[in-house]
Amino acid sequence: MCSIFGMFDLQPGDDLAALRQQALECSRRQRHRGPDWSGVYVDAGVILVHERLAIVDPASGAQPLRSRDGALALAVNGEIYNQAELRAASGYDFTSGSDCEVINALYREAAGQPPAHWLARLNGIFAFALWDGDRGRYLIARDPLGVCPLYWGHDLQGRLCVASEMKALVDLCADVREFPPGHVYDSADGTLARWYQRPWRDHAHTRGVRVEPAALRAAFEAAVHRQLMTDVPYGVLLSGGLDSSLVAACAARFARARIEDGDRSEAWWPRLHSFAIGLDGSPDLAAAHIAAEALGTVHHAFVYSFAEGLDALPEVIRHIETYDVTTIRASTPMFLLARRIKAMGVKMVLSGEGSDEIFGGYLYFHKAPSAQAFHDETVRKLDALHAYDCLRANKAMMAWGVEARVPFLDLEFLDVAMSMDAAHKMAGVQADGTRRIEKAVLREAFAGALPESILWRQKEQFSDGVGYGWIDGLKAHAEQAVSDREFAAAAARFPYNTPATKEAYFYRAIFERHFPGAACAATVPGGKSIACSSPAALAWDPAFANAADPSGRSVAGVHAAAVAG
């Protein structure tokens, strides 16, 4: 991945040289995302800046990507996993081996069709800005689930500005806000439109649909295979939980062949490396060791201290650009792990985000009263994922120039997994009195792929799994750092999303130092939640509807009962 910065709607009297320097300065603030090269494009109506992290085609894929005739300029943060098929079907005159250049090709060959028509052909993660100099037209678009971050706003002169991270716009745009996932802005008609639609969003379209275990497994293995597309050293994040272990198991199966030439030659880096982090004695480190031994990965386990995590918090919040409690708790060890991974020369990792949203893996899903309610909550979770786990995985890793890919959110796999009737996904106590573990349908599909202790391991949130002392220590520190007087006045200082705990207040104060103003605060979703659950889901069980702590351990009765049983 990379970072992009764009400035549009420039006027004839604008000082392009001065604006170019301003754009470079704004883009510099997100250069950690793309430390390999910087590219700038300036035209009468636009300035595009790209900071590159070279993963595919390091030799010739520098951006902004230009068409052969010079009319198109494209700045992209992302990966297009079906680029080989799209290239083969295109008559476009490609100028590089970049996977992202197919965006220029699809635009050029769209023959006046709405952007939604050709955007739907992309299977990947992306945020891009495309300039068509011949037409004086530009497009801004973001992938369906918001895996790649994107923000936009207007400067004092009304120019539209767009950037991969909010820090590039915070001093430039008073109205900075998040660009919505699955949407495209077209300057030709000034519209912001949703381009990503799927019938499975409505439970009625999934009712009675069964996906056989073999089909579910094959679809996920294909997703991992697609996302191994890389020309640089890579690895897998391995917490020892079900999701990361399944990603690692699939990656290990394909690691010895080079995906880029159809598995015909030996991979440039045939040994799969796995990475884990935790406090001393953490559940994740122990489980990750078992999984790595079984899969034969070259495993790297890192131990961090509470003090090291606490020291990193201000920098973590600056990078991930949120004050959400759960996200900060989990981002900190991930941020520390990314630094270790970067030091080893690895530039891309596969991660397990998205599985819990698709299959109802969070412990409160045990309380779902019906398949309809279960399905609706998974859809809502997917819609919110860009503000939580996708944000965490992307920004915590990219803080050190490491790209995180998320095979569970591969669009082809998502269509298979979400088309399944949620009746087959439900967890908790069944009609016959037995207890069904969360994500049982996924575990059953991968029978034999992992040790039984890993395949059937109880759900742990990442911030819990790194060691319970992490969350407990953060709470204790916040109690000391935030006075009772400060906390009593929280509503006056923070009228939007008023912190409900001293820990939340502590994070919010750090966030405000880096991102002052109401617009920045409003980029973080509001509302008290358990694992970001919806009001409807909170009504499933009064025992956890009023809980302030979003840790998985706070879901009354579920974690303890599952561990004991």
* Over residues 448-471, mean pLDDT: 84
47 and 170 share one domain = yes
Share of the chain above pLDDT 70, in %: 93
129 and 222 share one domain = no
Q: Does residue 529 register a pLDDT over 50?
A: no
Last residue of a domain, one of 174, 197, 220: 197
516 and 391 share one domain = yes
268 and 349 share one domain = yes
Q: What is the pLDDT of residues 467-489, one digit of tens each?
A: 789 999 999 999 999 999 999 99
Integer Cα distance of 55 and 553 in angstroms: 38
* Over residues 523-530, mean pLDDT: 71
40 and 168 share one domain = yes
* Over residues 73-101, mean pLDDT: 96
At residue 555 the predicted structure's pLDDT band, cuts being 50, 70 and 90, is low
Rounded to the nearest integer, the mean pLDDT of the chain is 92
Going by DSSP bridges, is the β-strand pair 46-52/37-42 parallel, antiparallel, or unpaired?
Answer: antiparallel
177 and 243 share one domain = no
Report the CATH number that the domain containing residue 176 is assigned in CATH.
Answer: 3.60.20.10
223 and 173 share one domain = no
Q: What is the pLDDT of residues 147-177, one digit of tens each?
A: 999 999 999 999 999 999 999 999 999 999 9
* The predicted structure's pLDDT at residue 459: 75
Last residue of a domain, one of 152, 177, 197: 197
Integer Cα distance of 37 and 160 in angstroms: 25
* The predicted structure's pLDDT at residue 552: 53
Catalytic residue among 2, 161, 390, 532: 2
| Contacts of 266 by beta carbon, 8 Å cutoff, 6+ apart | 256, 257, 258
* The predicted structure's pLDDT at residue 28: 97
* The predicted structure's pLDDT at residue 548: 58
Q: Does residue 460 register a pLDDT over 60?
A: yes
Sheet holding 403-405, edge to edge: 298-303, 273-278, 234-237, 348-350, 403-405
Report the range of poorest mean pLDDT among 120-129, 381-390, 533-542: 533-542
* Over residues 79-104, mean pLDDT: 96
Give me the domain span that covers residue 253: 201-564
The total of structural domains in the chain comes to: 2
Going by DSSP bridges, is the β-strand pair 348-350/234-237 parallel, antiparallel, or unpaired?
Answer: parallel
**CA atoms lying within 13 Å on the CB side of residue 477:** 15
* The predicted structure's pLDDT at residue 363: 85
At residue 262 the predicted structure's pLDDT band, cuts being 50, 70 and 90, is confident
Q: Locate the DSSP E strands across 425-471.
A: 428-429, 435-436
215 and 187 share one domain = no
Is 250 a catalytic site residue?
no
* The predicted structure's pLDDT at residue 120: 96
* Over residues 483-500, mean pLDDT: 97
Q: Does residue 435 register a pLDDT over 90?
A: no
Q: What is the pLDDT of residues 280-316, one digit of tens each?
A: 999 999 999 999 999 999 999 999 999 999 999 999 9
27 and 134 share one domain = yes
Integer Cα distance of 456 and 446 in angstroms: 11
